[in-house]
Amino acid sequence: MTAPAAAPEAPAVPAAPTAVLVGLGAWLPPRRVPNSELCARLDTSDEWIRERIGIAERRFAEPDVSTGDMAVEAGARAMASAGADTVDAVLVATSSPDHPCPATAPWVAHRLGLPSVAAFDVAAGCSGFLYAGTVAAGLIASGTAHRVLVVGAETMTSIVDPDDRATAPIFGEGAGAVVLEAGVPHAEGAMGPVVWGSDGSLADAIVVPAGGARGRRERDRAARGDFFVHMRGNEVFRHAVRRMAAAARDAVAAAGWEMGDIDRLIAHQANQRITAAVADTLGVPVGNCPSNIHEVGNTAAASLPLLLAHAADRGDLKPGHRTLLVAFGSGLAWAATTLVWPAGLTARL
């Protein structure tokens, strides 16, 4: 009796392409605003701001410079860094868009000479850059896009009350951008698994109460301050440390790494004490946590790409460094991912 023929082996399923970091750019407004410029108006001191937040100065854009303008500058630098003259999509992460409608990204794409490409904004507060990067990675994995420009840009003076002692010293302005391109898994620069989440039950912990669809009937009677950011600082601090640490651990585990493998922790620059608390919770030495909050403040969705660019430019990020990125912000929303820092990547500032 003849044995039955063996079933043919199923063809191997090719791995989906992975988003790989190939370009990095940043732009800061030239105007430096030291703490001394704010102290008299806010009844505070340079020492208090430095000790409580970790900021010595921040950058403010001139009144005729918008979020979109800064996004164009950073985006052009990231594309030059990548040696790319075109992309398939442009994503702008921001909480301070040029207009409530339309999105800022299509105009940015137009200014960059990218007609007809898909372009849209991502609003996820200070986690917006990692959220946008995750969306870009999905576009690449699905084959919808080969190369994506992701920009984080903020004009925070448009939504921060200059007379509010609780928020005015914290925020700065600027833009950072990356180019992500289809590549193979585990390549240097490849984005690892992303861990992200949100907790809308605490949406009012960081909120601009007026100006949106909710409460629009009272818009004419709303207090001036309700059109600016309100923040419950102590509560945000507690949740930021807990959520960032948990997401970071999960992202490291999803990448198949151990916390001891981490060479650099790139954390959203919200407050130097938050970064220190997250690093301590994770057991990451403070010397492995590059920081630029001292000179740029909290730039919200622009924070992570700006820090990546500055750390790369200063040599704090070296080829082969196992890098953990983590952010937390309004929503509340958080995200974390990993990558191995690639050789040959030059940040354009």
Torsion, CA 174, CA 180, CA 186, CA 191, rounded to 10? 40
Which residues are 59's β-sheet partners?
32
Distance separating alpha carbons of residues 291 and 154, to the nearest angstrom: 18
What are φ and ψ of residue 108, in 5° steps?
A: -60, -45
**Encoded amino acid at 282, one letter:** L
DSSP 7-73: PPPPPPPPPPPEEEEEEEEEE--SEEEETHHHHHHHT--HHHHHHHT--SEEEE--TT--HHHHHHH
Residue 324 belongs to what H/E stretch?
A: strand 322-329
Query: One of 35, 271, 298, 321 is an active-site residue; which one?
Result: 298
268 catalytically annotated: yes
Helices (H) then strands (E): counts for the chain: 9, 13
Query: One of 268, 292, 310, 321 is an active-site residue; which one?
Result: 268
Torsion, CA 137, CA 143, CA 147, CA 152, rounded to 10? -30
239 catalytically annotated: no
Sign of the Cα pseudo-torsion (95, 338, 29, 299, in order): positive
The β-bridge relationship of strands 147-154 and 89-93 is parallel
Query: One of 126, 271, 289, 321 is an active-site residue; which one?
Result: 126
Distance separating alpha carbons of residues 312 and 303, to the nearest angstrom: 14
Residue 150 burial by Cβ neighbours in a 10 Å radius (0-12, 13-18, 19+): buried
Distance separating alpha carbons of residues 187 and 22, to the nearest angstrom: 11
3-class secondary structure, 78 = helix
Active site residues: 126, 268, 298
